Amino acid sequence: MRAENTETAWTIPISEALSVRLYANTRPHHQLIASLQKGLILVSNGKELAGEGIGLGVPALRYTGRTYFPGSSKVELKQARNHTTAIKTFTLNLTSERALRNVNLETEVIRKIRRRFDKLYRDYGHSRLLMIEDMLRKAGVRRNFVQVKPVGSATVKYNIDLSRIGIRVDFKPFHESNVEKIYILNEGSSQRFRKYYDSKGTVLFDNNIGAWETVNAEWACIYSTEDKVGFRLWKSEEATLHRGREFLNGILDWVGLDYEAVHGNLSFEYDIELVGANRKR
């Protein structure tokens, strides 16, 4: 298992048709999250399956009422014959804001409204709210990720061993008392990964996957019937596993399985199984 590398990217083969790719910069650059650092990107027959998804194993931090994402990083790679370990240290220095053309709309009042909006979004479905998002875009209101003073960092170790990826995340906030929640995101393109299924026998496609739904099964899988590959995650006692999907042409294109942990333990470990990793071309 030898990684092919360029100056800013490492591609680690899993099978003849499947590999994972890790960038040192913010590629791939898609839509709203172009400026965010990404995790492991699934690549099938040379095609990245990311869309607007942020990749596998990406940290985010809810800190003093705002959520912070990684905008810069450094990468280290260690290789053995059949095993690759990648270490990516993320700096949490980006947050989401809205602006009308060049006027910043991000005030404390707007943030309170947005938190209420987000709760409605999660609790009552998202088709109408996606329509509102589209209307705001057409009116000139944009949601951007802007660079701010870092609130900490997170080091993610990816142990890549054939079809199993072990992930350990260690958060290092500047002030632990200000941490509200930690998130670990695992996402790809909603236009490639269109199927969800789990250990309880639940099978969902496209919009029926939901915007932000709790997974109560022992394991869950996001799968591409076109590429015949998917990624499976397991329920954890230390975090809540959510499934989610959003698609809005030109804005949103992600689907994934994300962990949400209440502040307490700032380290988190889990496994990802790459389903269909042994298939031939």
pLDDT tens per residue across all 281 residues of the chain:
566 555 689 999 998 899 999 999 999 988 778 899 999 999 999 999 999 899 999 999 999 888 899 999 999 998 877 789 999 999 999 988 754 445 444 444 444 444 544 554 455 444 444 444 544 444 444 567 889 999 999 999 999 988 899 999 999 999 999 999 999 999 999 999 999 999 999 999 999 998 889 999 999 999 999 999 999 999 999 999 999 998 887 678 999 999 998 777 899 999 999 998 775 43
Exposed, middle or buried by CB within 10 Å (0-12, 13-18, 19+), for 154? buried
Domain ranges of the chain: 4-275
Q: Which CATH class is domain 4-275?
A: mainly beta
Q: At 126, list the tokens.
A: 């998202």
Contact (Cβ atoms closer than 8 angstroms) between residue 274 and residue 165 = yes
Task: Output the DSSP codes for 168-199.
Answer: EEEEEES-GGGEEEEEEEEEE-TTT--EEEET
Q: Which residues contact 35 (CB under 8 A, 6 or more apart)?
A: 26, 71, 94, 145
pTM score above 0.95: no
Phi–psi pair at 124, nearest 5 degrees? -125, 20
